[in-house]
Structure 1
C-alpha cells in the first residue's frame, strides 16, 4: 500500500525557516536527524528510474475538430488511469518558461539573509519563503526550500505583490507573466477534461468559480543531499484543489503512486513538456471516475532540482461535490457537497489520510 498522504493543512503556528537546506547541503556529509524519514516513507525507486507509461499528450490541433476529439479521448484515459499526464505542443512560450526557471533559480541562489526578507508567515496558506517545512509542528522536515505566492485572482495578487521578492529585479514581472500564461493553459485543460466527461467545455471552469478561481504558485528548490535514501524532497500527498501544472528541470525526482503496480514510479523529464496532475476536486466532481494522484519528490546526491508548481483551486465559496449531470440511479453520488473553504477543515476534523475520503458518503 502507499504511504499515507500528508495534507497541506492550514492554520499552523509558524513556518520553519531557521535552517537553509541549501546551506546544510553545502556543509554536511551526514543527513541531520530531523530530515530522516520513517522506514516506510523512504524512497524505493531511483530519481532517474523513469516510467515510460505515463501518458504524453500532444495538444497540437486542439482547435481542429477531429484532432480535438483525439486529444479529449487521450486526456480522459489519462485522467482515469493515472491522474497525471504530460503535455507537449501546449502553446506556452519556451522563452518564457526558460526565463522563469532562470529567474527562480537566481532567487534561490541569493544569500539566506536576503531570502529571509520574504519569510513565510502563518495563515490559511503560507506565502513567502520557507526551508524544510512551513509547519513548525513538523517533527521531520523535507529536504527542500520553497517560495509560495497567491497569484490569482488578480485583486489578491495586486494586494500581495509588494511582498514578493524584489531580487532579482525582474522577478515580479516574470512571474506575473508566467502565472497568467498558466491560467490560460489551465482554462484549455479544464475544457478538455470537461468534454472528456461529456460536459460542456466551460463546465468545470464555471463550477470552480470562473474568473474568481484561485491560483497559487509554489517554487521548489531541492539541493543535493548527502543521504538521499533516507529522506524526501517533498512528502507524499495529493493536491487539494482542482489541477496542478508543473514545470520541472531535467533532473528527475517527481514520483507518483501507481495503484495497479502498488509502487512509486518516477516521471521522466521531457524538454519543453509540462506535467499536469489532477487534484482532489476533480476526483470528487467526476464522482470517482478520475483520480487525484498521490505524488512526492525525491532527491539525489549529485544534482540540485528545480520545479515550478502552479496550483489552480476553486474559489473559496464555490459549491463543490459531484457534478449533478454525471449522477443517475446507476451512478449515485459518492461524495457530499460542501463549500471549498470547508474542505480542509473537514479533512482535519476527520483526520483523513486520503483527503477525498473525508467527504465520501
Structure 2
C-alpha cells in the first residue's frame, strides 16, 4: 500500500504537487493509502492505546454500564457481536467504544439527539479517569484537524480549491472509536471475522493500528485480499461511502475486513469523519458523467449515517450494502 508523506504545509509547491498526484492515484486505485509525518505526536498515539487497553481490561459488567444502545446519541460501549456485516456468524468478534466531538450539553446537536453528537460518557473504573478523558478529547481534536487537512488534499486531487470542503467539515459529527479484537486461533473458521467485509459510512477514515496486523483490503484486479502491513506511527486512510457518492464514483469506497489469527489481542483506533450532519451531499463539480448527470440523489449526511448505522448494528443487514465485490470470500 502506498505510503505518502503528509508534511505538505511548507512552501514547496513541487512537493505538494507530488503529494496531490500520489493521493489521487491511490484514491482512483483502491481508495486506501498510508500517511506519515502527519503531526500527531507519537506519545499521544501511545497514550490512547494505553487508555484503550485499560478500559477493555475491565470486567464485562463494568463495561456494559456504558452500553451505547442506552445513549440517546449512540455513544459509549459497543458489545461483542453487536455488529454484523456479512452475516457469516452470530456477529463480529470485537468490542468498541464510541466518542463524538466534545459538545456542551446545551449544544443544539446534543439537544436534538443527533447521532454521535451528544455528551460523551467516560468510564470511572479506569485507572485514571481524568487522564482517560483528557486523552480522548485531545486525540479527537487533533484527528479532526488531520481529517480536515486530508480533505483539503483530496479537494485538490479533484481540481477544487483547498478550502472547498470547508462547509462540509464545519461542525462535523466525527467519531473516535476504540476497538479491541480478541485473539483467534490460526485454525479458526473462515466464517469468524473480527469485522466482516464492509465499506465505511463517511467521507474519510483515519486508522491507527497496532503491530498485530489483520486488516485486509480487497484488490479488484486480482479478486483477492491484500494484507495491510502495520507501519509504526502511520495512519491508514481510506475513503468512505459519502466521498464515493460525492465524487459520483470517481473515487472508490473499497471493501476491507479484519481477521485476527495471530494468537494475539489486536487494538486499533479508527477515526470516522462524516461531515456536518445537516450538509447535503450532491455531486462535486467536474464529477458528473458524460451527460452531466449524477448516479446518486442528494442525501443529508445525518440521514445517510443513521441509516447505515441502523442497518449494521440493529438489523444485521450490512451485507445488503456491499457492492458486487462482496461476492468473493
TM-score category (smaller protein): 0.7 to 0.9
How many angstroms does 1:123 deviate by? 6.6
In structure 2, do the counterparts of structure 1 residues 191 and 255 end up closer, same or farther at CA, with 3 Å as the change threshold?
same
Asked if 1 retains the 8 angstrom alpha-carbon contact of 2:73 and 2:117, the reply is no
1:281 to 237, 242, 260: 242
What is the number of equivalent residue pairs in this alignment? 301
The equivalent of 2:327 in structure 1 is none
The equivalent of 2:183 in structure 1 is 224
The equivalent of 1:334 in structure 2 is 295
Asked if 2 retains the 8 angstrom alpha-carbon contact of 1:245 and 1:274, the reply is yes
1:99 corresponds to 2:47: yes
Tell me the distance in 2 between the aligned counterparts of 1:346 and 1:90.
32
How many angstroms does 1:299 deviate by? 1.2
Tell me the distance in 1 between the aligned counterparts of 2:262 and 2:228.
18
How many angstroms does 1:116 deviate by? 2.0
- Using structure 1 for the length normalisation, give the TM-score: 0.76
Alignment of 1:28-177 (within 5 A): 54-63=1-10, 64-121=12-69, 126-134=74-82, 140-151=90-101, 155=107, 156=110, 159-161=118-120, 163-166=121-124, 167-169=126-128, 170-177=131-138
Alignment of 1:202-351 (within 5 A): 202-206=163-167, 208=168, 210-226=169-185, 227-230=187-190, 231-327=192-288, 329-343=290-304
Match of 1:316, SS? coil
How many angstroms does 1:329 deviate by? 4.4
The equivalent of 2:320 in structure 1 is 353
Tell me the distance in 1 between the aligned counterparts of 2:65 and 2:71.
17
Comparing 346-355 with 276-285, greater Cα deviation is found at 346-355
In structure 2, do the counterparts of structure 1 residues 124 and 333 end up closer, same or farther at CA, with 3 Å as the change threshold?
farther
Q: Deviations over 1:15-49 (max 9, x none)?
A: xxxxxxxxxxxxxxxxxxxxxxxxxxxxxxxxxxx
Tell me the distance in 2 between the aligned counterparts of 1:205 and 1:151.
17
Q: Deviations over 1:236-257 (max 9, x none)?
A: 1111111111100000111111
Tell me the distance in 2 between the aligned counterparts of 1:346 and 1:300.
32
How many angstroms does 1:175 deviate by? 0.7
Asked if 1 retains the 8 angstrom alpha-carbon contact of 2:175 and 2:272, the reply is yes
Gaps of 5+ in 1: 1-53
Tell me the distance in 1 between the aligned counterparts of 2:238 and 2:189.
25
Tell me: higher relative CO, structure 1 or 2? Use CA pairs within 8 A at least 6 residues apart: 1
How many angstroms does 1:62 deviate by? 3.6
Asked if 2 retains the 8 angstrom alpha-carbon contact of 1:147 and 1:219, the reply is yes
Aligned Cα root-mean-square deviation (Å): 2.8
Q: Deviations over 1:2-24 (max 9, x none)?
A: xxxxxxxxxxxxxxxxxxxxxxx
How many angstroms does 1:262 deviate by? 0.8
Asked if 2 retains the 8 angstrom alpha-carbon contact of 1:127 and 1:150, the reply is yes
